[in-house]
Amino acid sequence: MGAQERAGHDYQVMTKKYMRPLVEHACCTPVLVPSCFGSDDIEQYLSMADGIYLTGAGSNIDPALYGQDNLTPEKTQDQDRDRFDLPLIHAALGLGLPLFVICRGMQELNVALGGDLHQKLYAIPDMLEHREDYGASVEQQYADVHKVKIVPGTWFAGLMQATEISVNSLHGQGIKTLGCGLEALAHAEDGLIEALHLPHYKQFSLGVQWHPEWQAAHNPYSIRMFSAFGDACRQRLAGSLQRQNKF
């Protein structure tokens, strides 16, 4: 979900690649929430939701939100999304809503909980090149380019049924310091955190730095993630209905 300008008009858009696995594998109904009007109506939006899904985007998070100067002024920002998503995350956690967050969404979760980011992974010695090749075709950009090692003994390792998987990589920024309560679930070969969760919260929580939504139907690991998120949303809905029936 991100802001774009087209022919002099501002848009808030979500690409079909994000919505398709949410419908086909999570069996959920996606609802796009407008971020441009501020956070005053977050509670009303969340009252209609059974889970929160934060997608990637071409924009970077405002570094001022994690105490840094902007080292990438050439990159676009989406401060409307920043101002909406960070309080949205806190409200969703308080309500016990499942969270599935991808790429920028994972970085938002980290920043919302007090963590910070490497703004230029590509400028750090011994780090992999995590950015896509802008001159390549879309299929080449989203091809698997490196492996991630899953932390043994975690629920995520059980879900993936693997200790290591291959993933795509289309990001210039990444997690530097984990936010409060977050725990890593997987790392890239250079040590970068590629997946995380909130182990001390009861609800489902998963953030991944790669893009599992890309051609998810052909990737068993993506299907497992989206299915698990959908199951968590339905469990949350069932619990809400049970509570309502008591009154």
- Identify whether 24 is a catalytic site residue: no
Please tell me what DSSP assigns to residue 214. T
Convert 101-138 to b/e letters by CB count within 10 Å (16 or more is b).
bbbbbbbbbbbbbebbbbbebeeeeebbebebeeeeee
Q: Decide: residue 10, CB within 10 A, 0-12 exposed, 13-18 middle, 19+ buried.
A: exposed
Q: Decide: residue 244, CB within 10 A, 0-12 exposed, 13-18 middle, 19+ buried.
A: exposed
Task: Provide the token pair at 243.
Answer: 């509570």
Q: Which residues contact 138 (CB under 8 A, 6 or more apart)?
A: none
Cα–Cα distance, 231 to 227 (Å, whole number): 6
Q: Which residues contact 221 (CB under 8 A, 6 or more apart)?
A: 160, 162, 165, 212
**Residue type at position 165:** I
- Identify whether 108 is a catalytic site residue: no
| Catalytic residue (one of 103, 118, 171, 233) | 103
Task: Look up tokens 């848009």; give the residue.
Answer: 11
Is 190 within 8 Å of 199 (Cβ atoms)? no
Is 211 within 8 Å of 170 (Cβ atoms)? yes
| Catalytic residue (one of 25, 28, 213, 233) | 213
- Identify whether 43 is a catalytic site residue: no
* 3-class secondary-structure state, position 112: helix
Residues recognised as catalytic: 103, 211, 213
